[in-house]
Structure 1
Amino acid sequence: MKKSQKVLAVDLDGTLLKTDMLYESLCYSISENILNTFVKIKYFLINKAKGKREFAKELDFDPAILPYRGEVLEFITKAKQDGCRTVLVSASDNRLVEKISDFLGCFDEAFGSDGKTNLKGKTKAEFLINRFGEKGFDYIGDSKADLHVWAKADRVLTVNASRRLKTIFKENGQNYTEVVFLDSWILRLKTLFFALRPHQWLKNLLVFLPIFAAHNTEVTVLAIGLVAFISFCFITSSVYLFNDLLDLDSDRRHSWKKKRPFASGDMSITFGLVNIIFFLLLGLVIGWFVGQAFLWAIMGYYCLTLLYSLELKRKFIIDIFVLAAFFIVRVVAGSLASGIELSIWLLAFCGFLFLSLATIKRQAELSNSLNQGKQKALGRAYTVEDLPVVGFMAFSMGLISVIIFMLYLLSPSVTMSYSEPIFLWGACPVLLCWIIRLALLARNGEMHEDPVMFAARDKNSLACGILIFLFIVAGI
C-alpha cells in the first residue's frame, strides 16, 4: 500500500449491515438446536471471541439476502473510485466477515475476531493503528464501542449516531460526518407497531365466542372478555416477535415476508428481544387480573407456541393439529375467563373447522411454492407432491365441521338456546361454500398464506359471515 493512499475502515454490525451477525448467529442457533445454544453461550461468557467462533461454525447464511445499508455501500464505492483503500473490520467472527466481503467485492481487506481476540473497542483501535498508523485511516462506525477507534482515526464518520454519542463528540471536541442518520425513535415506534402484527389480533376475538354462544350480554362478563382479549393480544404479539427472530433466513427468502421488520433490518434484534419479554410480562400481568385459570391457559398457549416455533412446525401433520390448537386454546381461555361452560358441540365444531383452516394455510404455502418453481415450502416438512393429500384434508375437515353443526341442529340441545332453530339450517350451505372456496383459492395459489387474514379482507368471505350471522340472529 502506498503511504499516501487514504484508508477507509468500515464497521460491519449496525454500520454496513442493519443487523448484528452475533445476534443473527444466536437466533439461527436457537432455531436449530436450543440446547446446543446454551453450550455456545457458555463459551461466549468465558471468551467472547471463542463464543463467536462457536456460533459462526454452524451459521449457514446467504450474504446476498442480508439487510445492507445502501447509503453506506454507495459511500464505500465512491471512496474506492476516488482511490481509497477500503477495509472491512468487525468484531464479528472473521469467517462471517470474509464471506460478506467476498460477496460484496468492494473491500481490499477484511478482518474479524479470530476465535482468540475479540476485535472490538480498544483492540480494534490498536489493530488499525498497527496496520495503518494513528490518524492513518478514516473510520465509519455506529456505536459507543467505536469511540476508541474514532479517537485514533483521521475522520469520524457515523451511521445513525445516537444523541448520547453526539453529546460525547461535542464534549471531546470531535468533528464528525454523518453518512446515515435516521430519526430512530419515531421509526422504532412505527416499526414496532408493525412487528406486533395488530391485524392478527382479530384472531383473539375468539375469546368472546363462549360468551356470544351462550347469548350472554351482561356488561360484567363482556368487560372480563375485553380484558382477556387485551391480554391475549400482548401475548400473541410477543409470540410473533419471537417467531420472526427464528425465521430470519426463511423470511428473507420469501416474496413478501422479507419486508418484515427483523428480516429487513428495520428493527434491531436487541430491541426485539427486549420487547418480547416486555409484552409477554404485560400480557401475563393483565391475565392475572382476569383469573388464575385464564392465566394458566395463556401460559400454556405461550409454551405451546414456543414448542411449535422451535420444533413442531417442522413435523409433518403434527404442525397442522398444533395450529388448530392455537385457535381452540383461545376459545377455551375465553370460557375460563367468563366462567361460561363450553358445550361439546361447540368444541367439536371449532376443532374440525380450525383443522380445516390450518390445512388450508399449508395448502396455500405449498401452492405458492409451486408457482414460484420451488419443490418445498420454506421451513416446513411438506413438498409440492403432498398438495393432493393436503387439499383433501382441508376439504374433509371442513365438511366434518359442517356435519357436526347439522347434527347439533338435530339434537335436543338446540332448543335450549334457540327459539327458531330452523333458521340455522341456512348457515350450513353458506359455511360449506365458504370452506370450499377457500380451499380452491389456496389450491390455485390465489390466497394469502393465512386464510383467516385473507377472509378478513375478502368481500365474498365477509358476505358469507354476514349471512351466517343473520341466520343465527333469526334463530334466537
Structure 2
Amino acid sequence: MPARTVYVDLDGTLINSDLLLESLFRLLAKNILYLFMIPVWLARGKANLKHQIAARVELRTDLLPYNQQLLKHLEEQRAAGRRLVLISASHQSLVDQVAQHLKLFDMALGSSPSENLKGRVKLQKIREISGAEDFDYAGNERSDLPIWQQAQTAIVVSGNPGLSSAASRAAQRITVFDPEIRLGPAMLRALRVHQWAKNLLLFLPLLLSHQLANTQLVLMSLAGFLSFSCCASSVYLLNDLLDLEHDRQHATKRTRPFAAGDLPLQLGLIATPSLLILAFLISVLLPWEFSLVLLGYYLLTLLYSFYLKAFAIIDVLLLACLYTIRIIAGAAAISTIPTFWLLAFSMFLFMSLAIVKRVTELENLRSRNQQQAHGRGYYASDLVPMTMLGSASGFMAVLVFALYINAEETRVLYGTPEILWFICPLLLYLISRVWLLTNRGQLHEDPVVFFTTDRNSQVVALLCGILVWAATGSWR
C-alpha cells in the first residue's frame, strides 16, 4: 500500500507571508499608478487579479520567510517515502518558482487565470489527483476545513486554538505547528514607537517661545505630537510593505516584522490607512495650518519612499526637510511662526544627522566587500566625501546658532543672551562625538533616536536647557 500523499498549502503555511500581497506590494513599488488598475482586474475575478499581477512582477522566492519548523517536518516525510504536493491559491507561476527553489515537491499546483484554487475548488483538485486514496493536508485557515474533513491527518500551521479545535473535529488525526508569533510586540516594532522620539521636535517651538506654563498650548502640542506619530507609523508600515524584498537583503532590516514574517501582511494592509486616518482626525483639533503641514509631510514622505530615496544627496536633503517640517508643524499647532534662525539651524543639523545614517550604511557595505548600496545611489567609495559633507553641515549648524546669539530678536526673548555662548561648545561636542562614533562603526541606530537615549547626550541636553533658562533671566 503506497504511503499517503501530503498536500501542502503555501500562503501562511509553508511561508509566513502571502504571495498575492507580496506581489501586489512589489507591483506598487514598481509603479504606484497600478493602484488604479487593481479594481479593473478584480472586477473579472480574483483569479484574473492574481494572473495580471503575477505577469508583471518577479519575486525572489529564495528570500521568502519560510516556516522552518514545517520544512523540517516535510523533509522527514519525504525521506520516509511520502509524496509531497504543493497546492496553493497563489498563481501557478509563483507556486512553480517556490517549488523549483525548494526542490522538495513532486508536483506544484496553483491558480490559473480562470480558477482560484482555494477551499472546495482545491479539495476537488486533490480528489482528481488522489482519487479515493487517503491523504494528509497542511493548511492554516478556516477555508481549509472542508479539506481537513476528508484528510487522514490535518496539519494545522496556526497558533489559533479555535482553528486547531475545529480541525481536530474535522479530521481523524491532527498535527499542530504553532509559529509562536507574538503579534503585540511585533506590531510595536513595526510601528517604530521608539522613532516617535523624533516627533518631540514638535514641542520645540513651544519651548523656545517660553510658554510651557500655558496648559492649552501644551495640550495642542501634545495633540500635534500624537497626530504626527500616527502619520509617521503609517509611513513606516507602508515603507516596510513596499520594501519587503530590499529589507530581506539588508543586514539588519531583514529582521523587521513584515520582512521576517512575524506579522501577517493583511494586518499591515489594514493598519497603514487606519493610522493615517487617525492622524488627520486628531489634526482637526488643531489650526488648519497644522493639517496642511501634516499633508505636506505625508506627500513628501511618499515622494521619498517611491522615488527620491534612490538619488544620492537628494535623499539626505529630503530627510533634513522632513525633520524641519516637524518643527514647522509644532509652530502651526500653537499658531506661531518659526524663526529663520531655527529653520536654518535645523536644516544644517538634520542634514548632518541624515548623512550619519548613510555613512553607517556605507561602513556596513564596505565591511561586506560590496560596492553599491542596494536601492540607493551610493557606492562604498563615497564614504570619505559623505563624512566630510556631514561633519561640515553639523558645524554649520553651530555657526548659525552663534550668529543667532547676536541677533536683535534674541535680546527680546533673553535677558542675558551672552550665556547662550556656553551652548556652542556643548553642540560642538555632541556633533563631533556622533561623527567619531560613526566612523568607529559604533553607531548602529538612527542618530536622532541615539541622541534621546544616549546618556552623554542627555546630560548635554540638560545643560543646554539650564543655560537657556539662565539666559532668559528668570532666575533673577
TM-score range, shorter chain: over 0.9
Are the structure 2 counterparts of residues 141 and 475 from structure 1 closer, same or farther at C-alpha, using a change threshold of 3 Å? Answer: same
Measured in 2, the distance between the counterparts of 1:424 and 1:205 equals: 22
Measured in 1, the distance between the counterparts of 2:196 and 2:290 equals: 18
Q: Would you say the 8 A contact 2:363–2:441 is kept in 1?
A: yes
Are the structure 2 counterparts of residues 182 and 342 from structure 1 closer, same or farther at C-alpha, using a change threshold of 3 Å? Answer: same
Q: 1:248 aligns with which of 219, 225, 244?
A: 244
1:398 aligned partner, one-letter code? G
Measured in 2, the distance between the counterparts of 1:114 and 1:271 equals: 26
Task: Report whether the alignment pairs 1:419 with 2:415.
Answer: yes
Q: 1:92 aligns with which of 90, 93, 109?
A: 90
Q: 2:4 aligns with which of 6, 23, 31?
A: 6
Q: Would you say the 8 A contact 2:410–2:417 is kept in 1?
A: yes
Measured in 2, the distance between the counterparts of 1:361 and 1:321 equals: 12
Aligned to 1:198: 193
Q: 1:143 aligns with which of 137, 141, 144?
A: 141
Aligned to 1:121: 119
Q: Would you say the 8 A contact 1:158–1:176 is kept in 2?
A: no
1:37-65 Cα distance to aligned partner (Å, 9 max, x none): 54366334424334323322343333332
Measured in 2, the distance between the counterparts of 1:188 and 1:148 equals: 28
1:181 aligned partner, one-letter code? D
Aligned to 1:231: 227
2:31 aligned partner, one-letter code? N
Measured in 1, the distance between the counterparts of 2:296 and 2:192 equals: 21
Q: By how many angstroms is 1:345 displaced? A: 1.1
Are the structure 2 counterparts of residues 44 and 136 from structure 1 closer, same or farther at C-alpha, using a change threshold of 3 Å? Answer: farther
1:207 aligned partner, one-letter code? L
1:284 aligned partner, one-letter code? F
Q: 2:40 aligns with which of 39, 42, 51?
A: 42
Q: By how many angstroms is 1:34 displaced? A: 1.2
Aligned to 1:213: 208
1:34 aligned partner, one-letter code? I
Worse-superposed segment, 216-225 or 130-139: 130-139
Aligned to 2:174: 177
Local SS of the residue matching 1:110: strand
Question: How many aligned positions are there?
Answer: 471
Local SS of the residue matching 1:335: helix
Q: TM-score, normalised by structure 1?
A: 0.93
Q: Would you say the 8 A contact 1:362–1:449 is kept in 2?
A: no
Q: By how many angstroms is 1:202 displaced? A: 0.5
Q: Would you say the 8 A contact 2:4–2:133 is kept in 1?
A: no
Q: By how many angstroms is 1:156 displaced? A: 2.1
1:310-321 aligned within 5 A: 310-321=306-317
Measured in 2, the distance between the counterparts of 1:437 and 1:169 equals: 59
Measured in 2, the distance between the counterparts of 1:363 and 1:382 equals: 10
Q: Would you say the 8 A contact 1:72–1:179 is kept in 2?
A: no
Measured in 1, the distance between the counterparts of 2:225 and 2:373 equals: 32
Q: Would you say the 8 A contact 2:365–2:373 is kept in 1?
A: yes
Q: By how many angstroms is 1:313 displaced? A: 1.2
Q: 2:17 aligns with which of 19, 35, 42?
A: 19
Measured in 2, the distance between the counterparts of 1:209 and 1:456 equals: 14
Q: Which ranges in structure 1 are unaligned for 5 or more consecutive residues?
A: none
Q: By how many angstroms is 1:319 displaced? A: 1.4
Q: Would you say the 8 A contact 1:402–1:431 is kept in 2?
A: yes
1:329-377 Cα distance to aligned partner (Å, 9 max, x none): 1111111111222111111111211111112221221122111222122
Q: Would you say the 8 A contact 2:164–2:176 is kept in 1?
A: no
1:214-243 Cα distance to aligned partner (Å, 9 max, x none): 111211111111121112111111111111
What is the percent sequence identity of the aligned residues?
Answer: 37
Q: Would you say the 8 A contact 2:156–2:167 is kept in 1?
A: no
Q: 1:70 aligns with which of 68, 71, 74?
A: 68
Measured in 1, the distance between the counterparts of 2:166 and 2:36 equals: 36
Q: Would you say the 8 A contact 2:308–2:314 is kept in 1?
A: yes
Aligned to 2:153: 155
Q: Would you say the 8 A contact 1:7–1:136 is kept in 2?
A: yes
Measured in 1, the distance between the counterparts of 2:179 and 2:86 equals: 23
Q: By how many angstroms is 1:130 displaced? A: 0.9
1:188 aligned partner, one-letter code? L
Q: Would you say the 8 A contact 1:49–1:116 is kept in 2?
A: yes
Q: Would you say the 8 A contact 1:371–1:445 is kept in 2?
A: no
Q: Would you say the 8 A contact 2:320–2:350 is kept in 1?
A: yes
Q: Would you say the 8 A contact 1:8–1:138 is kept in 2?
A: yes
Aligned to 2:358: 362
Measured in 1, the distance between the counterparts of 2:446 and 2:53 equals: 33
Q: Would you say the 8 A contact 2:355–2:387 is kept in 1?
A: yes
Worse-superposed segment, 262-271 or 316-325: 316-325
Q: 2:108 aligns with which of 104, 107, 110?
A: 110
Aligned to 2:382: 386
Q: 2:30 aligns with which of 26, 29, 32?
A: 32
Local SS of the residue matching 1:370: helix
Q: Would you say the 8 A contact 2:159–2:180 is kept in 1?
A: no
Aligned to 2:435: 439
Q: Would you say the 8 A contact 2:418–2:471 is kept in 1?
A: yes
1:138 aligned partner, one-letter code? D
1:411 aligned partner, one-letter code? A
Measured in 1, the distance between the counterparts of 2:31 and 2:173 equals: 43
Q: Which ranges in structure 2 are unaligned for 5 or more consecutive residues?
A: none
Q: Would you say the 8 A contact 2:287–2:335 is kept in 1?
A: no
Q: By how many angstroms is 1:169 displaced? A: 4.7
Q: By how many angstroms is 1:160 displaced? A: 0.7
Q: Would you say the 8 A contact 2:25–2:242 is kept in 1?
A: yes
Aligned to 2:320: 324
Cα RMSD (Å): 2.1
Measured in 2, the distance between the counterparts of 1:445 and 1:162 equals: 43
Q: Would you say the 8 A contact 2:152–2:172 is kept in 1?
A: no
Q: TM-score, normalised by structure 2?
A: 0.93
